[in-house]
Amino acid sequence: MSNEKINQLAITATKIRKHALDAVYHAASGHPGGSLSIADILSVLYFDVMNVDANNPHDENRDRFVLSKGHCSPGLYGALAEKGYFPKEDVKNFRKIDSYLQGHPDMKGVPGVDMSTGSLGQGISAANGMALTAKLYEKDFRVYAVLGDGELQEGQVWEAAMFAAHYKLDNLIAFVDFNGLQIDGDIAKVMSPLPIDEKFKAFGWNVIVIDGHNYQQIMDAIASAKETKGKPSLIMAKTVKGKGVSFMENEAGWHGSAPNKEQYEQAISELDALLSKLEVE
């Protein structure tokens, strides 16, 4: 993979992070931590991997994306805005009374959202339904999903995990955003879902463990998952909650709170500095 391509994915990921912060800051609410941790995965999916067209968001043969951890809508909306599904400036109206950008992904109102999510555990089941439909009707689209690591505490995730393996949904690729933190703190202390990889293996999945901020590893993992036949793939992506903003990194407190003006400006200046550096390269 060329350095130029990776550099471009990094630029896009940084822009997604900026959109996510814009959204949460202007709404004075929302979920920055997990949005920042999945930005690199979103960049690779929307700008390198998925067969989607912002001008034809309902194409029946398109690849699907389900944000099972729906509270990270600021990250998803950032990716969709960058991709051209809606105007970038609309992100600043996130969660406002007159905006279509609902607090959690709303497939009826937001172009590019393939499934309404927000209630944890349900998105992965819906992703299964899409992947199953492709199998039943012999379509060749793929379904991508992102789960939170805390979300794995929902029993429905494991019902879905059983289902995907039972019906051999090798057209499903699910990520776990393994940032290790949930609202009340360390996932291992709140209610440990560990070991995540071994659990999915035991449920019959192909499991790949990567650094979720390494573009090459994300791309390689997806390529390897695509080649795996007869079972769904789980990409356990080790990530940093709040990635890219120094004072948000690895702080559970940034799960669901908005920065104040000073914090917002600092966060944006850090990302802008990174962007300038990337754009020079």
Interface with another protein by CB under 8 A: which residues? Answer: 60, 64, 66, 106-108, 114-116, 118-119, 121-123, 125-134, 136-137, 155-156, 159-160, 162-163, 166-167
Show the DSSP H helices in 28-121 as ranges: 32-37, 39-44, 73-83
Instruction: Tell me whether residue 32 or residue 232 sits nearer to another protein (CB atom).
Output: 232
Instruction: Tell me whether residue 14 or residue 128 sits nearer to another protein (CB atom).
Output: 128
Provide the minimum distance between the beta carbon of 108 and another protein in the complex, in angstroms, as a whole number.
6
Q: Which long-range contacts (CB under 8 A, 24 or more apart) does 225-230 make?
A: 225/173, 226/142, 226/173, 228/170, 229/170, 230/168, 230/170
3-state SS, residue 116: coil
Instruction: Tell me whether residue 43 or residue 128 sits nearer to another protein (CB atom).
Output: 128
Nearest in space to 66 (alpha carbons), one of 130, 1, 134, 141? 130
Q: Give dist(CA 25, CA 19) in Å, integer.
A: 10
140 contact partners, CB below 8 Å, separation of at least 6: 61, 134, 171
Instruction: Tell me whether residue 130 or residue 207 sits nearer to another protein (CB atom).
Output: 130
Provide the minimum distance between the beta carbon of 116 and another protein in the complex, in angstroms, as a whole number.
4
Instruction: Tell me whether residue 119 or residue 269 sits nearer to another protein (CB atom).
Output: 119
Provide the minimum distance between the beta carbon of 110 and another protein in the complex, in angstroms, as a whole number.
11
Provide the minimum distance between the beta carbon of 58 and another protein in the complex, in angstroms, as a whole number.
9
Provide the minimum distance between the beta carbon of 229 and another protein in the complex, in angstroms, as a whole number.
20
Q: What are 155's two structure tokens?
A: 């029993």
Report CA-CA distances (Å) from 116 to 55, 68, 145: 20, 9, 13
Provide the minimum distance between the beta carbon of 138 and another protein in the complex, in angstroms, as a whole number.
11
Instruction: Tell me whether residue 167 or residue 226 sits nearer to another protein (CB atom).
Output: 167
Within a 10 A sphere around the Cβ of 4, how many other Cβ atoms? Answer: 9
Instruction: Tell me whether residue 164 or residue 271 sits nearer to another protein (CB atom).
Output: 164
Provide the minimum distance between the beta carbon of 123 and another protein in the complex, in angstroms, as a whole number.
8
169 contact partners, CB below 8 Å, separation of at least 6: 128, 131, 132, 135, 143, 163, 231, 232
Show the DSSP H helices in the chain as ranges: 3-27, 32-37, 39-44, 73-83, 122-136, 155-166, 187-191, 196-202, 215-227, 261-280
Instruction: Tell me whether residue 105 or residue 244 sits nearer to another protein (CB atom).
Output: 105
Q: Give dist(CA 107, CA 267) in Å, integer.
A: 30
Provide the minimum distance between the beta carbon of 130 and another protein in the complex, in angstroms, as a whole number.
5
